[in-house]
Amino acid sequence: MFRMNLYKEFDFKVDRALGVNIYDTQGNRYLDTFSGIGVLALGHSHEEVLKAQQLQMKRFEHISNFFIQDDAEEIAKILVIKTGRTGQVFFTNSGTEAVEAALKAVKKKSQESGRKKIMTFSNAFHGRTLGSLSLNGFERMRKPFEPLLDNVVRIPFNNLEKFQEAIDKHINETVALFLEPIQGSGGVVKLDQASADMIKNTLGKYDVLLVCDEIQAGLGRTGKFYAYQHLGIHPDIITLGKAIGGGLPLGATVFLNGTETIFQQGDHGSTFAPNPISIAGGKVVVKKISEIMDTIEEKGAYFVSNIKQTEKIQEIRQTGLMIGITLTEPDPKLRVKAQEKGLLINVLNNRIIRLLPALNIEYSEMDEMIGILNELLS
């Protein structure tokens, strides 16, 4: 094999995919709860997304960021308007690059303010590049690549006492706080309201930037356009990725509250972003998500209410169609057992089932998934 295998791959090859269905080369059908790890918000091979991408390919595939793209301006307008504030958007090729753009802006502001420290939380992901990895809350991911960026203060997630200690000790030296409002890789865990209130009541007073990582939880996944909107907080910078590209690589950093003036021409750039084909598909996705927003929370609630509580289940966490099921005991064979029944699931640390189904999933398709899960967990 000439290709590096750094992932725990399934043992079949995909022939085609449509909606929430994946078909292998042997003709077997699987129900997909991955959605490309949250990338395919409207499911596989969505007709309108594909049509938009195909039409764009016939016009031009790449022109560089020296040219204006109306589609990019249209998406940027929606991303800002959905915050209820004013701002501007810098497009990237991925969520990790969106975090890097935010981090770079924070570092520039740090030079101006003299504040060097950045706060982040345990079990946060943020990315795998060296800058984003410095913010990563998983020691096993960071350790092989240290030393990384210094002056990072890590706080236990949803631990109000430790959060207050960090604020008391570091707030006057802190330039920014990076936050996933709902931690995806951390197990689909939502920031508690007490911590959110502390953020809302503290950061602004000390001119500390709030950067919300919405790469997995944003764009309607939780039943609101942005996940932070569940918590009543107001970020200065938002990072996006995954679903925004309609299945193709695209990310975005949304700069608000005057942070759009931190970068000047030449401070940052990208050869490929925004890619015209990604933008064309993304424009469809963003509009469609807005149209179905009211149904997402209802579907998520339906999904979890029909999962039978058994001794194998310790806890179920759900916000919209972002669902985490923590098992009482680890089960290293669970993914294989699910595959044998025609269900593809992502199992974190052999113990947490993370479900990110397509936002336009049908109730009949949910019923099929729920039925298999109930068999597996009975």
Domains 14-46+292-376 and 49-288 share a fold: no
Q: Which residues pair with 18 in a beta bridge?
A: 21
| Amino acid found at 375 | E
pLDDT, tens digit (0-9, with 9 covering 90-100), for 137-168: 999 999 999 999 999 999 999 999 999 999 99
CB atoms within 10 A of CB 26: 8
Q: What is the predicted pLDDT for the residue at 241? A: 98
pLDDT at residue 65 is higher than 90: no
Q: What is the DSSP letter of 333?
A: T
pLDDT, tens digit (0-9, with 9 covering 90-100), for 296-332: 999 999 999 999 999 999 999 999 999 999 999 999 9
Q: What is the predicted pLDDT for the residue at 354? A: 97
Q: What's the CA gap between 363 and 357, in Å, rounded?
A: 12
pLDDT (average), residues 38-65: 96
Identify the CATH assignment for 49-288 out of 3.30.2350.10, 3.40.140.10, 3.40.640.10, 3.20.20.70: 3.40.640.10
Element of type H or E holding 122: none
CA of residue 144 relative to chain centroid, distance? 24
SS3 15: strand
- HSE, side-chain direction, 13 A CA sphere, residue 168: 6
Pick from 318, 303, 302: nearest CA to 189: 318
pLDDT, tens digit (0-9, with 9 covering 90-100), for 262-273: 999 999 999 999
Q: What is the predicted pLDDT for the residue at 89? A: 98
Q: Which residues pair with 353 in a beta bridge?
A: 325, 347
pLDDT, tens digit (0-9, with 9 covering 90-100), for 352-375: 999 999 999 999 999 999 999 999
Q: Where are the beta strands (DSSP E) in the chain?
A: 14-18, 21-24, 29-32, 87-92, 117-121, 152-155, 174-179, 182-183, 189-190, 209-213, 237-240, 251-256, 313-319, 322-327, 343-344, 346-348, 352-355
User: Whole-number mean pLDDT of the chain?
Assistant: 96
Token look-up 């022939």 returns 15
Q: What's the CA gap between 223 and 220, in Å, rounded?
A: 5
pLDDT (average), residues 35-44: 97
- HSE, side-chain direction, 13 A CA sphere, residue 61: 2
Q: List the end-to-end C-alpha distance of the chain, in Å, as a whole number.
A: 39
pLDDT at residue 21 is higher than 90: yes
| Boundaries of every domain in the chain | 14-46+292-376, 49-288
Q: What is the predicted pLDDT for the residue at 1? A: 78
Q: What's the CA gap between 40 and 245, in Å, rounded?
A: 9
Token look-up 């039409």 returns 55
Q: What is the predicted pLDDT for the residue at 68? A: 87
The domain at 14-46+292-376 falls in which architecture? Alpha-Beta Complex (3.90)
